[in-house]
Amino acid sequence: MNQVNQHETAGLRFTANPGGELHGRFRVPGDKSISHRSVMLGSLADGTTAVSGFLEGADALATLNAFRAMGVQIDGPDAGRLRIRGVGLHGLQAPAGPMDMGNSGTSMRLLAGLLAGQAFDSELTGDPSLSRRPMRRVTDPLALMGASVETTEQGTAPLRIRGGQPLRGIRYDMPMASAQVKSSLLLAGLYAEGETWVREPAVTRDHTERMLEGFGYPVLRQQGWVGVAGGHALRGGDIDVPADISSAAFFLVGASIASGSEVVLEHVGVNPTRTGVLDILSLMGADIELRNRKTVGGEPVADIRVHAARLRGIEIPARMVPLAIDEFPVLFIAAACAEGTTVLRGAEELRVKESDRIAVMAEGLQTLGVDARPTDDGMVIKGGPIGGGTVHSHHDHRIAMSFAMAGLRASAPIEILDCDNVVTSFPGFARLARRSGLRLDATGGAQ
């Protein structure tokens, strides 16, 4: 069976049985964005980097395998711990063949920038979903820097990156709010002559900038622009990866919509460029409290306590969209359980995620009898009863977990198809969800 067929026929299904409440105090797996970056910068650093809390999910493991393929010695993961023996900015070796990024857009787009600065050629491939996602958003500006990265005619993977191309710094005004594009260019900028500057139309997650600085690499900032100059070095160190707020989001919404629930999520990353989900839920009337705030390795963390609450529909403020970009599938479930109408606009980026999250969520919600109307750049959802039925996640991890939470308020079972990719970001989701009170069955596939 070739790779495409394997991905298309994988068969994990969830059945979310109606009712239940969520209880408990627990820690969800490590932050995906920070896990990727810990391997990338740890590998390029001088000296050893010890990582704890690493996400042992398929996406972050794809990044880890790529660096192993380029000659980096990495011990682990062992209960979330890695030991990376950095090879320095110029110490990577040519991989023996194409490197498979699986489902991971972050791996592919960030590596495209980083590989553009290497002396050797490389090729990045992905699964069918990743092979449909737009790559010109990184390859076009990289070409302006002098890189040679070839896509298909449609501007998609596989990416063929020619090594040995001298890069020069650019000033790039990004057309979309994307941390992946910003990070890809900053990573290429480490290898460029002169300074590489980017400006984003709205604030996006800043983990790359924070980690670069944590590793002693100067990051330049000026009136909304962020930049790096080529030619400095990274110094390895320790990284404590906080729990992923994007994974916590399923429980934040689940506990909010299921009356009687109370959950404490421990050691969650609450970097202000990621907390849109907290702000949006709070505007909807959620009962959320942050405790034990501290800063760990340059990233703010806190325990998050959530009680069930009556939610109300809102107009989601535009500036919050990039700060909650991965949480909209589950926020749509919150909206379906709220009193009144919720309107999301300015979120066209949702159409080019692991699936078209506007179309796929609207289709699933409508199947369950919810009044959900997709628009070009968002959705209008009127809260009301949720029925049962069969929904397709289209191999999108966050869609699968969002509909699992909808079971808490459904009047009949929800069958969710194509759930295998839940392991990309949240290994152990079904077990943890069941332990906390979700009436979830998982059948078929790898559980």
Least gap, CB of 97 to ligand S3P (angstroms)? 25
Distance in angstroms (rounded) separating the CA atoms of residues 413 and 416: 10
Choosing from 326, 396, 418, 420, which is the catalytic residue?
A: 326
CA dihedral of 357, 358, 359, 364, whole degrees rounded to 10: 80
Q: In the complex with ligand S3P, which residue's Cβ is closer, 118 or 425?
A: 425
CA dihedral of 244, 281, 177, 64, whole degrees rounded to 10: 10
Least gap, CB of 204 to ligand S3P (angstroms)? 6
φ, ψ dihedrals at 203, nearest 5°: -65, 135
Q: In the complex with ligand S3P, which residue's Cβ is closer, 180 or 367?
A: 180
Distance in angstroms (rounded) separating the CA atoms of residues 419 and 399: 9
Q: In the complex with ligand S3P, which residue's Cβ is closer, 311 or 361?
A: 361
Tell me if 367 contacts ligand S3P by CB under 6 A: no
Distance in angstroms (rounded) separating the CA atoms of residues 276 and 319: 9
In sequence order, what are the beta bridge partners of 160? 123, 150
Q: In the complex with ligand S3P, which residue's Cβ is closer, 16 or 249?
A: 249
Say how far residue 386 (Cα) sits from the centre of its chain.
27
Helices (H), 122-219: 136-144, 179-189, 207-214
Least gap, CB of 30 to ligand S3P (angstroms)? 13
Least gap, CB of 349 to ligand S3P (angstroms)? 6
Least gap, CB of 329 to ligand S3P (angstroms)? 11
The structure tokens listed for 136 are 């010109």
Q: Contacts with ligand S3P in 167-186 (CB under 6 A)?
A: 178-180, 183
How big is the CA angle at 271 (ends 268 and 273), to the nearest 5 degrees?
Answer: 130
Distance in angstroms (rounded) separating the CA atoms of residues 396 and 400: 6
Interacting residue with ligand S3P among 7, 205, 357, 397 (CB under 6 A): 205
Total residues binding ligand S3P (CB under 6 A): 10
Least gap, CB of 181 to ligand S3P (angstroms)? 6
In sequence order, what are the beta bridge partners of 315? 343
Least gap, CB of 183 to ligand S3P (angstroms)? 6
Q: Which amino acid is at 213?
A: E
The CA R_g of the chain, rounded to the nearest whole Å, is 21
Tell me if 106 contacts ligand S3P by CB under 6 A: yes
Q: In the complex with ligand S3P, which residue's Cβ is closer, 181 or 335?
A: 181
Strand ranges in 297-439 using DSSP code E only, listed in sequence order:
299-307, 341-344, 371-375, 378-382, 389-392, 414-417
Cβ proximity of 28 and 268 under 8 Å: yes
Least gap, CB of 246 to ligand S3P (angstroms)? 7
Cβ proximity of 14 and 400 under 8 Å: yes
Q: In the complex with ligand S3P, which residue's Cβ is closer, 13 or 398?
A: 398
- Is residue 326 part of the annotated active site? The answer reads yes
Q: Contacts with ligand S3P in 320-349 (CB under 6 A)?
A: 325-326, 349
- Alpha carbon distance, N-terminus to C-terminus of the chain: 21
Q: For ligand S3P, what does the binding mask look like between residues 23 and 42, x meaning CB under 6 A?
A: ----------x---------
Q: In the complex with ligand S3P, which residue's Cβ is closer, 110 or 408?
A: 110
Q: How many CA atoms lie within 13 A of 121 on its CB side?
A: 7
Say how far residue 270 (Cα) sits from the centre of its chain.
14
Q: In the complex with ligand S3P, which residue's Cβ is closer, 265 or 325?
A: 325
Give the closest residue to 301 by CA, choosing from 382, 363, 212, 210: 210
Residues lying near ligand S3P in the complex (CB under 6 A) are found at 33, 106, 178-180, 183, 205, 325-326, 349
Active site residues: 326
